[in-house]
Structure 1
Amino acid sequence: MLGRNMFMETGLQHFYWGNGLLILISGVLIYLGIHKKMEPLLLVPIGLGILLVNLPLGGVMDYELEITNTTGVPSRVISIEVDETAKISENDVILQLDSGEILAPTHGKLKELLVSPGQEALPDEVIAVMITTAQTELPTKS
């Protein structure tokens, strides 16, 4: 069990063949820039940028997504269905309001909950913040 948890924490489960190919290309660019002295001021930063962006879960491509009360009416929080910092999938129930459920709009990790059971959430009030790598049309902050 310890080995599986370590593997899941490394982020390697999100490593695809395209990431490997681009890391290889970044290595070639860095090699050409440093050892062959071919435009080092151009190739080394490009190579390092490609390398950083393609590291699995390196945090470079993470976005904060604010989850709001979309019910349109003031609602009281009945229960919280997930723990803070929990990994969630698309359409997982995050919390129950007296006027409905708040679902996760995409996959990611819950960063923080801004409400507690019994608290009232106003319409369009931010009730949770999640971190996602999904590049969707959802309103995110870099």
Structure 2
Amino acid sequence: MERFARIMDIVAPSDRSRMMARIRGKSTKPELIVRRTAHQLGYRFRLHRKQLPGTPDLSFPRLRLAVFVNGCFWHRHPNCRYAYTPKSNIDFWTRKFSNNVQRDIRAKEQLESMGWRVAVIWECETADSLALRDTLSTILAP
């Protein structure tokens, strides 16, 4: 009898592929929460400006501020319980996460070299609406 060295996925590869394909990059629930909160605070913004490096989720041109609403899992939020690594296909996930983090760093550096401030709001930070209001108020203060 052959023993497997790693844990197998409980979902068929075709089903897993379909599930992963449904994950959106724009207008996610955390992003909608941040947008709603910023709007309630009286700020107006532009969405997903392709002219800016990294295509920030929200940009405040007057303040020269780019805001990214990052998923803890995909962008590797340090010390966050949602930033776990799947137990199957570890090499793939390690490369994927590393590339995501490097891309985020490049976009931040490019924006800063253009004179923009950059802020990141993590998915887990959107759960507490009062704390999110405080964070956005601080970030958006000129």
Q: Quick check: TM above 0.5? A: no
Larger strand percent: 1
- TM band (smaller chain): under 0.3
- Normalising by structure 1, what TM-score? 0.25
Higher relative contact order (CA 8 A, sep 6+): 2
Where is the helix percentage greater, Structure 1 or Structure 2?
2
Task: State TM-score, norm by structure 2.
Answer: 0.25
